[in-house]
């Protein structure tokens, strides 16, 4: 089975497995919605942390600054999602304040959408970033968000039991969707920086994130159906970012390494062939020089020449015309004429013949 067939088989198996997992996840909501919410959030949190781990450990090989930037930010987005999960209604972990979960959700989504848009600033090589500085910056931003919710309690209220979502929460969701739409526009504008498959993964991720946020503008109950749909699309969004990073951070470097090996082998073969040709040319040149040297030695030696007809005797004992002998042992060519002295001596004969 060739590689493409293997990949299609694996993709089909992964799709079936994920479908079964999502169906099973849906049935957990029948038993206990809090269980569904916890599993769904943990699922996306694990994916988010995995995105960071893969990006961090593949940072030397990732050629796309955008994906590297986004992979770092998902560490902090996932941390806020973890706090959101722990503070969700019914978890009974933070009992002093009932607004934490929705506030953390909005904080995480603003961070996620803004990061997806801001990453395009670093898409080309003209604008680079220090990954350690980026980690420190997002750590400070995350700390400010957490303190504004848990300690200072100045983050606006997003959901009130019995009333539903506040205007701030709904408008925030629309603002997040607008930022995501901007990200989609920037993605199309910079699509030349992405491979076709990676471009599709990021596009699907942003689309799923927008659908997720729109779903969260409709619910009036933290345990409602719209809330469930929003969490499903959030998982899809995280999965597509994960696939984009896997493709760029692991598969492409792997293919790049073997491509470089193949290119190196081809280059070595070419160099060997060029050296063989150079050696052949060198040997031919040496042979030509040796022959020329031998010819020069013959001409420099004692040449037996007839004192009357001026013929020259060769090594085989044959007598050759002077012109033939010299032409054979050199590159000289002859052009016959008549000198003035001979002309005077033979003019009468030539004129008589005419």
Q: Give residues with Cβ within 8 angstroms of 89, minimum separation 6.
A: 34, 98, 101, 161, 222, 223
Burial class (CB in 10 A: 0-12, 13-18, 19+), 10: exposed
146-181 confidence digits (pLDDT tens):
999 999 999 999 988 778 889 999 999 999 999 999
- pLDDT category at 1 given cuts 50, 70, 90 is very low
Q: Following CA atoms 269, 275, 276, 278 in sequence, which dihedral angle do they give, to the nearest 10 degrees?
A: 150
Residue 332 in this model has a pLDDT that exceeds 80: no
- Percent of the chain whose pLDDT exceeds 90: 39
Instruction: Give the pLDDT of residue 245.
Output: 80
Considering only 69-73, 225-229, 337-341, which range has the smallest mean pLDDT? 337-341
What is the arithmetic mean of pLDDT over 206-213? 95
Residue 5 in this model has a pLDDT that exceeds 70: no
232-241 confidence digits (pLDDT tens):
999 999 999 9
CATH topology of domain 32-266: Rhopdopsin 7-helix transmembrane proteins (1.20.1070)
Q: How many CA atoms lie within 13 A of 250 on its CB side?
A: 13
Mean per-residue pLDDT of the chain: 83
- Helix pair angle (100-118, 131-146), 10° resolution: 150
Instruction: Give the pLDDT of residue 257.
Output: 47
- Percent of the chain whose pLDDT exceeds 70: 81
The CA–CA distances, whole Å, from 134 to 68, 69, 111, 131, 175 equal 11, 8, 13, 5, 24
Segments making up each domain of the chain, as ranges: 32-266, 303-353
Residue 182 in this model has a pLDDT that exceeds 60: yes
Considering only 37-51, 189-203, 257-271, which range has the smallest mean pLDDT? 257-271
What is the arithmetic mean of pLDDT over 244-256? 65
- pLDDT category at 114 given cuts 50, 70, 90 is very high
**With a threshold of 0.85, does the pTM exceed it?**
no
Instruction: Give the pLDDT of residue 248.
Output: 65
Cβ(222)–Cβ(36) under 8 Å? no
Query: Among 62, 40, 78, 192, which residue's Cα sits nearest to residue 131?
Result: 62
Cβ(80)–Cβ(149) under 8 Å? no
Which has more confidence, 334 or 30? 30
Instruction: Give the pLDDT of residue 258.
Output: 53
């Amino acid at each position: 089975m060739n590689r493409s067939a293997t990949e299609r088989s694996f993709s089909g198996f992964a799709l079936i497995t994920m479908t079964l997992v999502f169906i099973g996840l849906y049935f957990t909501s029948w038993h206990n919605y809090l269980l569904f919410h916890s599993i769904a959030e943990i699922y996306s949190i694990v994916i988010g942390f995995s995105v960071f781990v893969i990006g961090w450990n593949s940072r030397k090989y990732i050629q796309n600054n955008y994906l590297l930037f986004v992979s770092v930010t998902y560490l902090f987005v996932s941390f806020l999602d973890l706090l959101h999960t722990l503070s969700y209604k019914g978890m009974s972990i933070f009992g002093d304040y009932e607004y934490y979960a929705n506030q953390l959700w909005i904080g995480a989504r603003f961070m996620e959408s803004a990061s997806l848009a801001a990453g395009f600033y670093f898409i080309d090589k003209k604008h680079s970033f220090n990954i350690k500085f980026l980690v420190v910056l997002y750590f400070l931003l995350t700390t400010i968000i957490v303190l504004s919710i848990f300690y200072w309690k100045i983050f606006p209220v997003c959901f009130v039991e019995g009333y539903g979502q506040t205007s701030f929460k709904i408008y925030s969701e629309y603002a997040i969707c607008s930022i995501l739409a901007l990200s989609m526009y920037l993605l199309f504008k910079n699509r030349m920086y992405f491979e076709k498959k990676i471009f599709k993964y990021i596009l699907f991720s942003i689309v799923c994130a927008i659908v997720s946020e729109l779903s969260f503008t409709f619910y009036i109950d933290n345990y409602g159906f719209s809330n469930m749909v929003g969490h499903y699309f959030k998982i899809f969004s995280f999965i597509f970012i994960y696939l984009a990073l896997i493709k760029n951070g692991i598969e492409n470097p792997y293919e790049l390494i073997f491509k470089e090996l193949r290119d190196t082998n081809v280059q070595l073969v070419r160099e060997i062939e060029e050296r063989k040709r150079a050696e052949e040319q060198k040997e031919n040149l040496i042979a030509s020089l040796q022959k020329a040297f031998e010819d020069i030695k013959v001409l420099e030696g004692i040449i037996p020449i007839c004192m009357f007809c001026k013929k020259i005797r060769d090594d085989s004992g044959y007598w050759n015309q002077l012109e033939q002998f010299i032409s054979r042992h050199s590159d000289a060519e002859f052009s016959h004429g008549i000198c003035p002295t001979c002309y005077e001596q033979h003019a009468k004969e030539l004129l008589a013949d005419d």
